[in-house]
A = this chain, B = another copy of it.
Amino acid sequence: MIDKILLNGKDISSDIKKDLQGKISNLYKNNIIPCLATILVGNDASSETYVRMKGKACEKIGIKSKKIHLPENITTRDLTDLIGKLNNDSNVHGILLQHPVPSHIDERITFDTINIEKDVDGVTSWGYGRTALNLDAYPSCTPAGIMKILDTYNIKVEGKHAAVVGRSPILGKPVSNLLLNKNATVTICHSYTENIDKILKQADIIIAAVGKPKFIKGEWLKTGAIVIDAGYNKGNVGDVDFESCDGIVKAITPVPGGVGPVTIAMLLKHTVEAAEKQSLNLFNR
């Protein structure tokens, strides 16, 4: 029986933050305080929690967190106007609009108003296209975190068959692109996929991004598979039935403590990079 290795997202997150300390110190020396603006619309409890967590993570390592909390009834126009102002504010280096916004707002238009240089959360359609085409842009943070986990543990992606379960615009679709750009053969599965167990049985790497608690069973997987569980469902459970993977998978991310912490660390990393790039542009002017 194979002992499954736990892919420790907390440790990776700590290491990323440590690496950022030096960069942040350098920015401070040049009188630049890296700053992430977070926009929260309305009073959804979990969204409030997420935004607060991100703000705290910023402040803990010296990134300024500019929190904007808007009323539920704000219009698309007023929201895009606000984003436009943040785009033009040279003290703001990254902009995060917490998903989801209330249904009367056109979320796509508001996302796409964010300047690509400040799109540290990877939500614009232009940034999506650039990432997919292997051009410079900030990918969504969870896909970026997943790639960071694979890389940190030296898990070979090139030539491997990766199955992504889920196709959301900020997770399943972009992580497929990142895996493909690292030369994996990629299969994208979703609610219309037939015989998903047979497809997963062939995959060397499984990315669970479906948002259904314990949906993926160990018996569907190949012996020795690598499992990245990006699900985070009520009751602190992932999309993978963790226990049922015993003796089958080679390595797996725990939930919590796997993908989650690395996702936040990638947001911090992107914000610091954005501050560096934007300050560089400033000096060159």
> Which listed segment binds B: A1-9, A95-103, A125-133, A147-155?
A125-133
Cβ distance A193 to chain B, nearest Cβ, rounded Å: 4
A interface residues (Cβ-Cβ under 8 A, vs B): 108, 124-130, 132-133, 135, 158-159, 161, 167, 169, 173, 176, 180, 183-190, 192-194, 199
Among candidates B124, B128, B187, B193, residue contacting A132 with C-beta atoms closer than 8 Å: B128
Query: In the bound complex, do residue A192 and residue B129 qualify as a contact, i.e. CB atoms below 8 Å apart?
Result: no
Residue of B nearest to A124 (CB): B129
Cβ distance A236 to chain B, nearest Cβ, rounded Å: 30
Docked complex Cα distance between A176 and B187 (Å): 10
Docked complex Cα distance between A189 and B135 (Å): 20
**Which residues of chain B are within 8 angstroms of A199 by Cβ–Cβ distance?**
161, 185
**Which residues of chain B are within 8 angstroms of A184 by Cβ–Cβ distance?**
192
Cβ distance A264 to chain B, nearest Cβ, rounded Å: 24
**Which residues of chain B are within 8 angstroms of A183 by Cβ–Cβ distance?**
190, 192
Query: In the bound complex, do residue A185 and residue B187 qualify as a contact, i.e. CB atoms below 8 Å apart?
Result: yes
**Which residues of chain B are within 8 angstroms of A193 by Cβ–Cβ distance?**
159, 185
Residue of B nearest to A130 (CB): B125
Residue of B nearest to A186 (CB): B188
Cβ distance A188 to chain B, nearest Cβ, rounded Å: 5
Cβ distance A187 to chain B, nearest Cβ, rounded Å: 4
Docked complex Cα distance between A192 and B127 (Å): 26
**Which residues of chain B are within 8 angstroms of A186 by Cβ–Cβ distance?**
187-188
Docked complex Cα distance between A125 and B129 (Å): 5
Residue of B nearest to A160 (CB): B194
Query: In the bound complex, do residue A132 and residue B135 qualify as a contact, i.e. CB atoms below 8 Å apart?
Result: no
Q: List 8 A-B contacts (CB under 8 A).
A: A108-B133, A126-B126, A128-B129, A173-B180, A180-B190, A185-B188, A185-B194, A186-B188
Docked complex Cα distance between A108 and B190 (Å): 32
